Chains A and B, each alone.
Chain A
Amino acid sequence: MTRIDDANAAAIQGVLDAAPMLVGVGRARDVIPGMADDVLLHAGPPITWDRMSGPVRGAVIGALLYERRAETEDEAVALVESGRVRFDPCHHHGAVGPMAGIVSPSMPVCIVENRTAGNRAYSTLNEGYGKVLRYGAYGQDVLDRLRWMEQTLAPALGRALELAGGIDMKTLIAQALQMGDEGHNRNRAGSALLGRWLAPHLVRAGLSTDRQSEVFRYLAANDLAVLNPVMAACKATMDAAHGIEGSTLVTAMARNGTEFGIRVSGLGDRWFTAPAETPVGLYFPGFGPADANPDVGDSTITETAGIGAFAMAAAPAIVTFVSGTARDAMTSTLEMYEITVAENPVFKIPPLDFRGTPTGIDIRKVVRTGILPRINTGIAHRRAGVGQIGAGLVRPPRMCFEEAVEAMAAALGR
């Protein structure tokens, strides 16, 4: 076996051995390493304001209003243009955020700890559907909801998790996959499990009946409630595989709405980026491809960790996103085995005779076979604040992987 194969074996062991536990909720400013008052984290590889797409700009404005650093949209824009807002990718701070992925200092974030390697990962709490910050909306209703999350939801979840002694995210994902989720676009089962497991503890969290009711209503209505903890679990898992010299394993795939970027275990903090593509999929009534923003969000950490589109065969309920037949769902997963180095024995897929999900993308396999990873994704309107307009499938640009291969050859002096 060559050194690369050894390095990949070590890296994938970190992935398969990871034990991500949802342990609590904290304030971004307090818990995320390197977070500061003037910093906004965003999804995807690094980007500057002038190159940000509509929904990401909208979310930035919303976050500055939420942080009360600006009173109006114009003030927020002026603040950014004055250079007094520092942007940094979530991924540089152990964090991940869906869609625009903006994390501001006051936002509550869930904390996932990988009990094997000891590393932690963070993600915001999911806002639910409709007009939401992650799609670039920043109206009063959006801000009101963010404050409710900060003041009611976050303390309640935090206390319940404390009483529960944490929630084993690996077990939760494993069960959800057998209940028809793939962990990225479909999270109905996982969210139900999260609510069920938290319920006995939520009632003892010291909330008034009305507040309890609000929290339960949130959990009952939001099929995406579990998505952000799942993303953090995936991030905690993949960070355990990052930084292994010589490893060609992909440890992050993320989009900032303008570019798609990947990171590779053996290539340190470098991003390999290319212009993001527009997802192909189904649109809500009244919208079409012309309205779509280029691919955006850190939620591709799910595919990076071997679920999402990689586990499509487990989720027949959403095959319409991948063209409509159960066969295509099976094909999606089978194809991903061609570019991955392992099968996760914990994440089993019933229709494939309980074969484990394809896990650990090898840049060499991607470039050699020409098969690009599949990604399930929501589609954002390209104007800020309109929100989600559809869902579908996207693939990363080939160039990201080719450049990573070139960099790896250079790094290893081959």
Chain B
Amino acid sequence: MIVRSAVRRSAYYDSITLMQAQQALRSLPGIVEAGVVMGTPANLELLREAGLDVRSASASADDLVVAVSGDTAQHVEAALSSLDGLLRVRPATDPGDQTYRPRTIATAARLLPGANLALISVPGRFAARVAREAATAGLHPMVFSDNVALEDEIRLKQTSRSRGLLCMGPDCGTAFVGGIALGFANRVRRGPIGLVAAAGTGLQEVMSTIHRLGGGVSHALGAGGRDSSEAVGGATMLDGLTLLRQDPSTTVVVLVSKPPDPGVARRLLAHAAGVGKPVVVAFVGSVPLHEVPDTLTPVSTLEEAGILAVRLAGGAPRDLDGEGGGWFQAAKERAAVARSRLGASQRYLRGLFCGGTLCAETVWLLESALRPLYTNVPMGKARPLTSLGRSLAHSVLDLGADEFTVGRLHPMLDMTLRAGRLGQEAADPEVAVLLLDVVLGEGVHPDPAGALAPAISAACTAARAAGRELAVVASVCGTDADPQNRARQVERLATAGVLVEDTNARAAALAGAIVAGGTEGDEMWTRISPRVPRAKPAAPWSQPEGATAGDAPTLLAGAPRVVNVGLARFAESLRAQSAAVIDVDWRPPAEGNRAMLELLDRLE
């Protein structure tokens, strides 16, 4: 085996470009393994683990490191020399595009008249500065990037507010503004329901549910995963609620969050009560609140948030399972059938998630029913899983968490990690149920069900060969308007033998019921049971006549005009939606020279 490597100093590429180049290298003749990474210590370690010994230990986080192993020196050298060509492929602009690609936000904002929002997905350590530049240029920052320092987030949100701007994120995965989906977003119908959320898969699940029930969304504003912490104080959520209060096209508001810091929760609820519109409050992972004002409707699952929001908006939601709560009875019967096929050794549930909030909701629904339950998002009685490579008893894993995504694509983009783990779990004779989420939308994998189905079939076949019958349960988060088409994705999974449920909560409950015997399951069913809305429904909604621009806050007055900084696929997605977008040719400041950058920061 021949192993060769090379280092390109101060050469920055986004992770998607690197992963695509890496995959292309692997497929070249005679190549066994290839790694194309930015030279962080973690990435170099990853290369070493993959048998790609990189002698150049001097590489820094701003250097590009490529390592290739293969059968002959000729093949390996050929692969190495093809790297530049692979990296040069930039799908960002169409070839006929003759316009200048700006290098800074200030220039971009000047070149795109009326630009009002910056979608920022640069590496975390640069994101706060880019967002500040956006705010200075008068653009509402939407920071998709994570790994932004907490103090930077606090300062950024203060600066934005003082300029009359809404700072979405950091770590805001998705948003929907003026009919345009931003980031990892689902295509949904427009309507009267406005949302404020941390803005990951929790928001996607609620939006998709609303759409599938026949409802529609006015705007979905993202705050980021840390917004409801004590330190950040719910800054963006509070501002988002204010915007939705002023927005004439919004008649019902949904607030989605992990359980906030208690003080923040009080402030959010007080503010929500003053919105003057019915507000559904989904603090996912906590029991519904009591003693809240009448205009607030607390719920406990994402599904319920969607159902009640549609009802409050004056819609008559197509019940997910027909009238009369028939689903509960049917689900219990399906669970009993699946349980009857299990072998004596099969006792455990293994959940493999790509959506963080979907995973958290699942853990919360199952933690009282399944014991012991291990997870990397511990809450309630669920315990932390210390060795992530091997599941214990009942395990529910968020494969999109940092500890799984170092040096590889997020599992919403790349199914290989999850497919591999599926096989591993299925080979465990104690496993009874596999539980999955499948997330659709802009920017994610073009056919996740198609990529997972062969792995699911193979896992089931292998188990069957060993005399076991596996149950596989999944939900599909998305809509038929999404590029992947939800109906087709569901069909693909069903063909592979998966029990597909309408929502994440239902998938969790069904999977839980298969392994939870006796009375432990009761608490789970209580948590998922629907409540009735407390507020009176809003007047039936109709699309406001003419332009609402005069009354709406400027961000919400129309389709956003976007300056995209970072992942090119977000600009492509915006172009596909006919949104006005300009793509910044972003590169790390000071050519990645950290010492120089520190000096520059001191000279600001």
Contacts and interface: CB of A to CB of B under 8 A. Distances in A.
A327 B98 contact: yes
Interface residues on A, range: 20 to 34
A327 B101 CA distance: 12
Interface string B572-604: 000000000000000101110100110110111
Contact of A409 (B98, B100, B587, B599): B599
A369 B104 contact: yes
B536 interface: no
Contacts of B111: 334
A228 B591 CA distance: 36
Contacts of A330: 100
B266 interface: no
A335 B599 contact: no
A370 B587 contact: yes
Given A364-B600, A405-B599, A338 B102 contact: yes
B603 A409 contact: yes
Contacts of B55: none
A290 interface: no
A331 B107 CA distance: 12
B341 interface: no
B531 interface: no
B48 interface: no
Instruction: Say whether chain A's binding surface is mostly helix, strand, loop, or mixed.
Output: helix
A266 to B, nearest CB: 10
A337 B107 CA distance: 7
B604 A370 contact: no
A335 B602 contact: no
A369 B602 contact: no
Interface string A382-410: 00000000000000000000100110110
B602 A409 contact: yes
A368 B588 CA distance: 8
Nearest to A409: B599
B599 A406 contact: yes
A344 interface: no
Interface in B426-456: none
Interface centre among A364, A367, A368, A402 (most CB of B within 10 A): A368
Interface in A1-45: 2, 4
Contact of A405 (B104, B106, B600): B600
A364 B133 CA distance: 14
A207 interface: no
B603 A414 contact: yes
B600 A368 contact: yes
Contacts of A367: 590, 596, 600
A376 B596 CA distance: 28
Contacts of B593: 402
A5 to B, nearest CB: 9
Contacts of A331: 100
A327 to B, nearest CB: 6
Contacts of B8: none
B231 to A, nearest CB: 26
Nearest to A398: B591
Contacts of B488: none
A369 B603 contact: no
Contacts of A368: 589-590, 597, 600
B589 A412 contact: no
B603 A364 contact: yes
Contacts of B104: 338, 369
Nearest to A327: B98
Contacts of B590: 367-368, 370
A248 interface: yes
Contacts of B589: 368-370
A414 B603 CA distance: 7
B103 interface: yes
Contacts of A338: 102-104, 106-107
B602 A334 contact: no
Contacts of B102: 334, 338
A367 B106 CA distance: 16
A371 interface: yes
Contacts of A334: 100, 102, 107, 111
Nearest to A414: B602
Interface in A288-331: 327, 330-331
A73 B136 CA distance: 61
A248 B110 CA distance: 23
B159 to A, nearest CB: 14
Contacts of B100: 330-331, 334-335
Interface centre among A2, A327, A405 (most CB of B within 10 A): A405
A364 B129 CA distance: 14
Contact of B603 (A248, A327, A402): A248
A2 B596 contact: no
Contacts of B106: 338
Contacts of B107: 334, 337-338
A414 B365 CA distance: 54
Nearest to A325: B98
Interface of B: 98, 100, 102-104, 106-107, 110-111, 587, 589-591, 593, 596-597, 599-600, 602-604
Q: Which 5 A-B pairs have the closest CB atoms?
A: A414-B602, A334-B100, A409-B599, A368-B589, A370-B591
Interface of A: 2, 4, 248, 327, 330-331, 334-335, 337-338, 364, 367-371, 402, 405-406, 408-409, 412, 414
Given A334-B111, A405-B603, 9 more contacts: A338-B104, A338-B106, A364-B603, A369-B589, A370-B589, A402-B596, A406-B599, A409-B603, A414-B603
6 contacts: A330-B100, A334-B100, A367-B590, A370-B589, A409-B603, A414-B602
